[in-house]
Structure 1
Amino acid sequence: MQATPSGRLPQARFLICDCDGVLIDSEAIAERIIVERLEALWQRDDIADTVRPLLGMRTRPLLERVADTLGHVIHAETLASIDTAVRRGAVLAPMIEGVDAALGAIALGKACASNSNADYVSSALQRTGLIRHFADRVFTADQVAHPKPAPDVYLAAAHRVGVAPAHCLVVEDSVTGARAAVAAGMTVLGFAGAKHLPGDQIRKLLDAGASLVFERMTQLPSIVASIVDGHSHDSQRIAPHTHQDYA
């Protein structure tokens, strides 16, 4: 783990989770829909490689970035159509394997801070039952001035729950989200276990400022407990199937 100069991370008092790719396994669905629609529109086979690093952004800015990168123009009606298709597909996605039990095993207070809209996040959390971990502590991009990678939604969450950003742990799966949380002054635990993530996501999350990266939600309670107790991990990567897993 990358550590503070003292060799320890700031003491954790609150846990903030991203939604898509951390709580809900929806990013793979979003990626498939976006790639299929753009491939049909532009007739090229390099779209997936351009889309994947941008996952975690809101859909419309992501589409505009992809179009700009690949030298295409994307019209407003196409943006709206793909955005609607992504929302309809993602809202039925299952929760990330093991996340419900992992959150239940962590004693810290919890919030959700998502780059999606409030209606979608509320629906997903209610449908999966994960809302029980967050109650009304759910914050979304449409409630703040600037979406991730700006820190606004994370700062709003910290302000609402009354915890200094330095004492907040954030679980993020995307580079976009990790940069937002780092900009907010929070400690980022990178999650690289969702279905959509490429093999080099561990390196990308660490480069974006994550203090460590883990690959199984069963590892999260012991990682959080170690940080709460004031300890640090010896490496930047927590490998799967290790003593970090809880029962």
Structure 2
Amino acid sequence: MTGIAALICDCDGVLIDSEAVAARVLVRELEARWPGADVAPVVMPLLGQRIERVLGGAGEALGRTLTAADVAAIGVAAEREAQAAPLFPGVAAALAAITLTRACASNSYTAVVRAVLARNDLDRFFGERVYCADQVAKPKPAPDVYLAAAHGMGVAPEACIVVEDSLAGVTAARAAGMTVLGFVGGTHVGEAHDQELREAGAVEIFDDMSTLPARVAYWVQKAQATSH
């Protein structure tokens, strides 16, 4: 195991409690378009993927369709409302306490993520190290965005610790060869979510951001001990 040099955080569901907001919008918009469809149980497991994929997956599961205009309108509504979601308690203090190089890697759009970080005064931790799905060939669960983040920081993928809340995100980070901590503090998280993240490759699960610095320090020390 190589030494740990960087921390990469997802944005939605890790830094801001936005996944529940986005889920409510998606369910509301789909129920309006598909009367009588049981939308929520189909949408919730798909969270963490690009909205277009969530909508496509929901339509496939329910045997329904959306027009391109519907997909665009729902995406705009979800992005708009999710941007106003609050920070998770302790996020800023945790990031300030961690001395590793820090980056943000999201399945959202670069402009949206940069706006969210700036509005919440988190851009001071990440600077230009913001990597999003619109910058790479394939979104999460493909590893592209995480590999781009490692490359952009000039570090090996195995030198990165990732904080992720979604199955797609954990899958992507593990495929990139990174150590993944699963965060389950979001209001959108269901009872079985922690087990799903573990099965996808998260090395530990936590729900309190104030504990992140100690958890990162543990894995940094573990990597140092293993590399000697």
Q: How does 1:217-228 map to 2 (within 5 A)?
A: 217-228=209-220
**1-structure distance, mates of 2:36, 2:23:** 16
The runs of at least 4 consecutive aligned structure 1 residues that moved more than 3 Å come to none
Which letter maps to 2:92?
Answer: D
| TM-score between both structures, scaled by the size of structure 2 | 0.95
Q: Does 1:101 align with 2:128?
A: no
Structure 2 residues without counterparts, runs of 5 or longer = 224-228
| Aligned residue runs from structure 1 range 60-139, under 5 A | 60-139=52-131
Give the C-alpha shift of residue 215 in structure 1: 0.9
Map residues 14-25 of structure 1 onto 2, 5 A cutoff. Answer: 14-25=6-17
Paired residue secondary structure (2:172): helix
Q: What is the alpha-carbon distance in structure 2 between the residues aligned to residue 194 and residue 111 of structure 1?
A: 20
Structure 2 match to 1:5: none
Q: 1:120-168, CA deviations, whole angstroms, 9 ceiling, x for partnerless residues?
A: 0010000000111100000110011111111001000000111100110
- Give distance in 1, aligned partners of 2:75 and 2:50: 9
Cα RMSD over matched residues?
Answer: 1.3
Deviations 1:53-91 (A, max 9, x none): 111111111101110011111111110110010111011
- Report Cα offsets for 1:2-38 as digits up to 9, x if no partner: xxxxxxx653211000000001111111000000111
1:26 corresponds to: 18
2:42 alignment counterpart: 50
Q: 1:11–1:227: 8 Å Cα contact kept in structure 2?
A: no
Provide the secondary structure at the position in 1 that maps to 2:222.
coil
Quick check: 2:37–2:62 contact (8 Å CA) kept in 1?
no
| TM norm structure 1 | 0.88
Identity percentage over the alignment? 52
Which consecutive unaligned segments of at least 5 residues does structure 1 have? 1-8, 232-247
1:195 aligns to 2:187 (yes or no): yes
Give the match's secondary structure for 1:181: helix
Distance in 1 between residues matched to 2:66 and 2:148, nearest whole Å: 32
